[in-house]
Amino acid sequence: MARSAGADDLLRQLAQLNTTDLRVLLTEVFPSQAYEGERTIKYARGTEREPALSLVYRAARSGRPPDGAVSELRREAALQPEDVDELRRFLAILQGPPRDHLASFFHFSSRPVSTWWRYRDEFQIMPPPPDAPLPGMLVGDWPFLIEARYRSPDHFGFEIQYRMRTMNRLRLLLPVWLIGPKFKPHTERNTKHWVVPFQGPATETQPPNGVSRLLAALRLRRQPSPAPVRPGPPVFAQEYYEVEGRVRGGPDLSSLDPARAAPLVEDHEAYYRTMSRRLDDVVEFPAILSTLFDTYYALDEETARRYRRACYWFNLGNFLYGYSGSASFFALVAAIESLLPGGEGPHPCAECGASHYPSLTKAFRGFLETYVPDKPEREAFYDLRSKIAHGSRLLHFDLREEWSEFHPVSADEDTQIRQLQGMCRVALVNWLLAQGTG
């Protein structure tokens, strides 16, 4: 009886954990999970075993954690004493001293990274290794390295979770605050495409190594005439990028040559107003970048989550631009909506006394007046967003009913989206800076 009571006390203690940590812990002990009903998950030692625990979630509602609020962690008949011992062991690991780790991973940019930048002793952005494959053209996905330190409980399952969180948050923030880095949703998912491999002697069609290819691209040197190549048959291939055999180091950041440190752009307003690019442009770093990270890390968790949500919509809008102008436009406006003040109650009408809720259009306009110094077509942006959202409008680009897009309607829509991209980036940057001065 005493052992049973001890198990129940342990389950109540586990139910108070952060839900993400709790799920990792339970999965390490019980690798088999199955739904029962809408909000209950059964945990078992294997697919052929009876469930040992039931994790019951509360119904989703305003004010509860977005990753799920636990109602109860309930024991089932198959829970064994050795299961309880394992749960105690993993709880001790979770609450014990953490270990330092280093995440070293590639990201991609629309322009090359030729210098390095470091944020305190937490992470750094670096050019790719000398032997890294490069696109061989100026307009392409240019790889660069990110090294980020993080701490996690001393077990592989927790380490994976904490590493993914560290990497994904940088993947959200960097494409907002830097001109160049790209965003791709769900980088951990397997993604395949039909691709055309080019057959030919690779040693003749490319410069000798990655550094010379990068210099050739940036300085526009004359490159050797390529040997004839021909496309091979299409291949359904997995997306993949890595430099085999590279040293990942850790847990400290790699030492870098001070002479290759990035010069900083002091005028951040001019930096974020940039709409065009030159062929030899590289990724530049605004002087306020450290301030942006300082301010972000000082936010409370709820505000930081809201800001990441806005960054996600901004990044998704840019990602979707080549697929759907309408979806891109909608996502960019949603980024701004994510930061609008909420919870404002109804106001009595001065004429009739009826309760009216404040207009989203008015809130949108007020937000831009506060955080975007330029005077964009605020009402036009939100009006177009509303028409797209309610199905009464689709951008001409998405209809694809003619080959040529060289006409005023297409040009105007493209200009609107590009203006909205720039306006949205400025709004997200200035809103965050204001949190540090408020």
Residue 102 is given by DSSP the state E
Closest Cα to residue 433, out of 223, 318, 272? 272
Question: 217 or 381: which carries more pLDDT confidence?
Answer: 381
CB contact at 8 A, 158 and 94: yes
CB contact at 8 A, 268 and 287: yes
pLDDT score recorded for residue 56: 96
* pLDDT tens digits, one per residue of 334-358: 999 999 987 555 555 555 555 544 5
Instruction: Report how far residue 284's alpha carbon sits from residue 418's, in angstroms, rounded to the nearest whole number.
Output: 20
Closest Cα to residue 146, out of 179, 111, 117? 117
Report the DSSP beta bridge partners of residue 348: 355
Question: 132 or 63: which carries more pLDDT confidence?
Answer: 132
CB contact at 8 A, 166 and 101: no
* pLDDT tens digits, one per residue of 126-146: 999 999 999 978 889 999 999
Three-state DSSP state, 92: helix
Percent of the chain whose predicted confidence (pLDDT) is above 90? 60
Instruction: Report how far residue 165's alpha carbon sits from residue 159's, in angstroms, rounded to the nearest whole number.
Output: 10
CB contact at 8 A, 387 and 332: no
For 394-422, letters b (16+ CB in 10 Å) and e give ebbbbeeeeeeeeeeebeebbebbebbbb
pLDDT score recorded for residue 65: 76
pLDDT score recorded for residue 261: 98
Question: 223 or 399: which carries more pLDDT confidence?
Answer: 399
Q: Where are the domains of the chain?
A: 2-95, 99-186+194-199+209-222+231-262, 298-437
| Confidence at 206, pLDDT banded by 50, 70, 90 | very low
| Confidence at 214, pLDDT banded by 50, 70, 90 | low
| Confidence at 88, pLDDT banded by 50, 70, 90 | very high
SS3 of 141-203: the string is CEEEEEEEEEEECCCHHHHHHHHHHHHHHHHHHHHHHCCCECCCCCCCCCCEEEECCEECCHH
Average pLDDT across the chain, whole number: 86
Closest Cα to residue 149, out of 77, 198, 100, 86? 100
**How would you classify the pairing of strands 70-75 and 53-57?**
antiparallel
Three-state DSSP state, 306: helix
Question: 328 or 225: which carries more pLDDT confidence?
Answer: 328
* pLDDT tens digits, one per residue of 176-186: 999 999 999 88
Report the DSSP beta bridge partners of residue 34: 42
| Confidence at 205, pLDDT banded by 50, 70, 90 | very low
* pLDDT tens digits, one per residue of 360-408: 777 888 888 899 887 666 667 777 888 888 888 888 878 877 776 777 8
Three-state DSSP state, 316: helix
Instruction: Report how far residue 144's alpha carbon sits from residue 126's, in angstroms, rounded to the nearest whole number.
Output: 6
Question: 304 or 380: which carries more pLDDT confidence?
Answer: 304
* pLDDT tens digits, one per residue of 146-177: 999 999 999 999 999 999 999 999 999 999 99
CB contact at 8 A, 150 and 103: yes
189-196 long-range contacts, Cβ below 8 Å, gap at least 24?
Answer: 190/238, 190/239, 191/238, 191/239, 192/236, 192/237, 192/238, 192/239, 193/236, 193/237, 193/239, 194/234, 194/235, 194/236, 194/237, 195/234, 195/235, 195/236, 195/237, 196/231, 196/232, 196/234, 196/235
CB contact at 8 A, 218 and 114: yes
CB contact at 8 A, 234 and 198: no
Three-state DSSP state, 343: coil
